[in-house]
Amino acid sequence: MIRIASGQGFWGDDLDAPVRQVEGGPIDVLMMDYLAEVTMSILQKQKARDPKLGYARDVVPLMERILPAVVERGIRVTTNAGGVNPESCAEAIAEVGRRLGLGGKLRIGIVGGDDILGRLDDLLARGVELADMDTGRPLREVRDRVVSANAYLGAAPVVEALAQGAHVVITGRVTDTGLTLGPLIHRYGWKRDAWDLMAAGTVAGHIIECGAQSSGGNFLGGWPDVPDLEDIGYPIVEAEEDGSFVVTKHDGTGGVVSVPSVTEQLVYEMGDPHAYITPDGVADFTTIQLAQAGRDRVRVSGIRGGPSTPFLKVSVAYRSGYKAVGTLVYAWPDAVAKAREADRVLRARLDRLGLRFDEVLTELVGVNAAHGPLAGAPSPEAPEVQLRVGVRGDDRAAVERFTRELAPLILNGPPGVTGFAGGRPKVEEIVAYWPALVPKTEITPVVRVLTA
Amino acid sequence: MKVRLLALAHARSGDKGDTANVGLIARRPELYPLLEREVTAARVARHFTGMLTGGVERFELPNLGALNFLLHGALGGGGTVSLKTDAQGKTLSSALLRMEIEVPDGTL
């Protein structure tokens, strides 16, 4: 049996969770997912400012806390914290290792080859269109606005780094699930065309890739009964050679691991359940069998899968205009009516200024921001409501001007208004996401292992 | 009698571009056939009238007692483009649980 523990579900997750996973009981692998679609473009911007940056910096102080235990106990760490600069991330961790007296002992694997920003023109010139998977538009339409472009690598380079003895594997854009499947393939020597096993490891990865979302966090199925959320245990997969596994968490932690909690995570961000496509194979979620196997233990079995496709997914980020969002709070009496009147006045002023936007969106937080018209008519006695207005467009100056039109409403609009202490809203550049496919033959993962 | 889905099911939602998904999960296995019969793609599309620019697709996962709905054009452009508070569709799960369906007496 091999124990793979989830330590981070995204960049911004609980900083102490990985430490609790290492210190709270036995584990063989610590898996940490840091990358979301938007993260890559942020990291690419940071790298453009400083060539030593471009990775999830939180991972370095974290490693300082866990490296001694990792090396002493032989725990392997797999993480895509490398972002668009896994080399610099690994160097920073090696530096920490040397400071901790682990020089000569600590081996760090680096997985790259996913970053195709510098190869885009070559690919386009050779007829690889990188068309938007949703709209079919060819990438050349937005080529000059591209900020980052990364292919999603699978488990293979992670396996390679582990085989070369890496304690810690730092990757660029490896799939979230590949970080869990990789150690399984490495441990059990699973054949890469054993599609049911590839699917099983992928499902295991999916269950733990969002951190505590499978162990009682964000659990709609019975949140009032989830104990000790302040001390929630992050999920751990105990996997067998035949591909079956148990989802659990460390003893004595909060949260819950139950069939309903695991099921909620299984359906999270799901498309067609018959075809969960990864670089490593295609998993069929309609074959998954779950059973409660003791307190905070769910057995997962029966998973079937099929062959991988000849393509890798590519995530391209490109600049797509500007936006700003501002808010004001209106109090009883007639809170909602006053907020609506303020919105009308604001829009009339924007019109009179001749400002043109692609979209102006008004929400009343407390009334319709989450459930829209399904929430029904607001109470005339509503104690308060937040007016939230957002604009979006290509003209930065117009968006900038919008941000100056909210504050005047405090003195020259409807009464009973507050909540502007934060000042004018900030104008944000929109970096939009362009999903595409690239033939696998175009992408060669690069693996290097260094000794600290 | 009419009951809210909240009494029969729980749910989780997420995003992929401008499409939101809602996984609807029966609270007990024996409630799944009822969900499969009553909560059709067409009924879900009606429920979300005015909130989607695209259609609704449904997939069945009887093994998990779950239905998966794709709500196309639910997120104001999605991701970083969207101006919505809930740009990632996180609360569309409970929005679906507001739906009322007809169930035999004594189902609960």
Residue B52 covered by a domain: yes
pLDDT band at B106; cut points 50, 70, 90 = confident
Residue with the two structure tokens 């609960």: B108
Chain-chain contact of B63 with A287 (C-beta, under 8 angstroms): yes
Interface contacts (A, B; CB < 8 Å): 125
Residues of A in contact with B65 (CB under 8 A): 263
Q: Quote the number of domains for chain B.
A: 1
Report the SS3 class of residue A270: coil
Q: List the CATH number of the domain containing B32.
A: 3.30.70
Chain-chain contact of B79 with A392 (C-beta, under 8 angstroms): no
Cα angle, residue A275 at apex, residues A272 and A279 outer, rounded to 5°: 130
For residue A56, what pLDDT is reported?
97
Chain-chain contact of B63 with A288 (C-beta, under 8 angstroms): yes
pLDDT, mean of residues A415-427: 90
Chain-chain contact of B86 with A432 (C-beta, under 8 angstroms): no
Residue B38 covered by a domain: yes
pLDDT, mean of residues A110-128: 96
Per-residue tokens: A179? 């970080």
Q: Is the pLDDT of residue A305 over 90?
A: yes
Domain interval for residue B86: 2-102
Chain-chain contact of B81 with A320 (C-beta, under 8 angstroms): yes
The answer to whether residues A95 and A67 touch, using CB atoms and an 8 Å cutoff, is no
What is the per-residue pLDDT across A331-350, written as a single tens digit (0 to 9) for each? 999 999 999 999 999 999 99
Report the SS3 class of residue B94: helix
CA torsion angle for A327, A322, A373, A265 (degrees, to 10)? -100
Residues of B in contact with A359 (CB under 8 A): 76-77, 83
Interface of A with B in 342-361 (CB under 8 A): 359, 361
Considering CB atoms only, which of A273, A323, A432 is closest to B59? A273
Minimal CA–CA distance to A285: which of A260, A268, A266?
Answer: A266
Distance from C-alpha of A411 to C-alpha of A433, rounded to nearest angstrom: 40
Q: For B20, which residue in chain A has the nearest alpha carbon?
A: A269
Mean pLDDT across chain A: 97
Residue B67 covered by a domain: yes
Cα angle, residue A39 at apex, residues A33 and A43 outer, rounded to 5°: 110
Interface of B with A in 80-99 (CB under 8 A): 80-81, 83-86, 91, 93-95, 97-98
Residue B108 covered by a domain: no
The answer to whether residues A97 and A64 touch, using CB atoms and an 8 Å cutoff, is no
* Complex ipTM over 0.95: yes
Distance from C-alpha of A32 to C-alpha of A9, rounded to nearest angstrom: 7
Residue B8 covered by a domain: yes
For residue A36, what pLDDT is reported?
84
Residues of B in contact with A390 (CB under 8 A): 83-84
Per-residue tokens: A259? 């069939």
For residue A420, what pLDDT is reported?
82
Which domains are assigned to chain A? 2-114+152-309 (no CATH), 320-434 (3.30.70.1130)
Interface check for B43 against chain A (CB to CB < 8 A): the answer is no
Q: Is the pLDDT of residue A386 over 80?
A: yes
Residue B107 covered by a domain: no
Residue B77 covered by a domain: yes
For residue A41, what pLDDT is reported?
83
Interface of A with B in 289-328 (CB under 8 A): 289-290, 320, 323, 325
Q: Which of B4, B5, B12, B56 to mutate to test the interface with A (most CBs of A within 10 A)?
A: B12
What is the per-residue pLDDT across A42-81, written as a single tens digit (0 to 9) for each? 898 899 899 999 999 999 999 999 999 999 999 999 999 9
- Looking only at Cα atoms, what is the longest distance across chain A? 71
Chain-chain contact of A263 with B94 (C-beta, under 8 angstroms): no
Q: Is the pLDDT of residue A421 over 80?
A: no
Residue B34 covered by a domain: yes
Interface check for B25 against chain A (CB to CB < 8 A): the answer is yes
The answer to whether residues A423 and A406 touch, using CB atoms and an 8 Å cutoff, is no
Chain-chain contact of B95 with A374 (C-beta, under 8 angstroms): yes
Minimal CA separation from B37 to chain A, in Å: 18
Q: Phi-psi bin for B40: left (phi > 0), alpha (psi -120 to 50), beta?
A: beta
